[in-house]
Amino acid sequence: MIDNTQVALAITGASGAPYAKRLLEVLLRQGMTVHLMISTAGRIVLADELDWKLPSRAIDAQSTLAKQFDCSVDQLHVYGEQQWSSPLASGSHRVPTMIVCPCTMGTLAAIASGHSDNLINRAADVIIKEDRKLIMVPREAPFSVIHLENMLRLAKLGVCILPPNPGFYFKPKALEQIVDFVVARILDQAKIEHDLMPRWGD
């Protein structure tokens, strides 16, 4: 039985850490239980773009982030890159949605080919095989034919490919508004309520 109060979030090594931070913040604020995976390269980008220097052990990173976001360790679960004991590695888990934000082209390629060499790739493979919702936020420019073919392959399987392309029709005045625009689109696809942006026509 799936549990719509749970979501898996994977942060990989593409630029775009502010999207991941804001997404995690909103998910926790909405009362969601978040199963968080951060790749080795993702940790480097978090340090570069947000000055987050997370402990190497997943349990310590979990404690650090729970304090930062003022939530309990029961609401935020952090797993190591090779933590195969994670429930996300099995199709019997109850998480209905997984978001990869930001998503590297390497992660996208591995998931597209079913190459489950780490927990992120395995968790995505499980989400696909169990016919659940996978949202990928690829951050690259320009896209090569290889990138586009991998995205098409995943899209044909029902994966949502959501590049972080903000609109400017709402005349943003700050970077935070641009980040919220993208995060709002991700949450819409995940069918998670939010109040980040007014809806067109409202």
Q: Tell whether 167 is covered by a domain.
A: yes
Per the structure, how many domains does the chain have?
1
In the chain, % helix, strand, coil (3-state, to 5) comes to 40, 15, 45
Q: Tell whether 104 is covered by a domain.
A: yes
Q: Tell whether 200 is covered by a domain.
A: no
Which residue range forms the structural domain that includes residue 184? 6-189
Q: Dump pLDDT digits (tens) for 134-192.
A: 999 999 999 999 999 999 999 999 999 999 999 999 899 999 999 999 999 999 999 99
Q: Tell whether 98 is covered by a domain.
A: yes
pTM for this structure?
A: 0.96
Q: Tell whether 199 is covered by a domain.
A: no
Q: Tell whether 202 is covered by a domain.
A: no
- Which long-range CB contacts under 8 A does 174-183 form with residues at least 24 apart? 175/18, 176/22, 179/18, 179/19, 179/22, 180/22, 182/19, 182/137, 183/19, 183/22, 183/23, 183/26
pLDDT tens-digit profile, the chain (202 residues): 788 999 999 999 999 999 999 999 999 999 999 999 999 999 999 999 999 999 999 999 999 999 999 999 899 999 999 999 999 999 999 999 999 999 999 999 999 999 999 999 999 999 999 999 999 999 999 999 999 999 999 999 999 999 999 999 989 999 999 999 999 999 999 999 999 988 877 6
111 exposed, middle or buried (CB, 10 Å; 0-12, 13-18, 19+)? buried
Q: What is the pLDDT of residue 139?
A: 95
Q: Tell whether 163 is covered by a domain.
A: yes
Q: Tell whether 198 is covered by a domain.
A: no
Residue 178's domain is classified under what CATH number? 3.40.50.1950
